[in-house]
Amino acid sequence: MHPHLNDMANHKSALKRIRQNEVRRLRNRYYHKTARTALKALRNEENKAAAVEQLPKVISLLDKLAKKNIIHKNKASNLKSKLTKHVNGLA
């Protein structure tokens, strides 16, 4: 159980809000961590064919995160740009 659940909330709605926020926080953390792992895997990929195959999946993942406001849309764009350049630069 998270420490926030022992907060001062007395209203039913506030307690529910605390529960919802906690669930969302954990879900967002999972999505964010999964995305970081995918980015790392793509950055470390040496094989161009494999990287070209992975790129659209990672871009799609970033777009979904930006849409859900887990990362900022400009950050998603910057990452997509960098990754595309990286993949195109592979021999």
71 and 37 Cβ atoms separated by less than 8 Å: no
Question: Encoding tokens for residue 45?
Answer: 């990929």
Give CA angle at 11 (1, 27), nearest 5°: 40
* Single pTM value for the model: 0.77
Domain 12-89 has CATH 1.20.58.110: yes
pLDDT digits (tens, 9 = 90+) for 66-83: 999 999 999 999 999 999
pLDDT digits (tens, 9 = 90+) for 21-68: 999 999 999 999 999 999 999 999 899 999 999 999 999 999 999 999
Amino acid at residue number 68: K
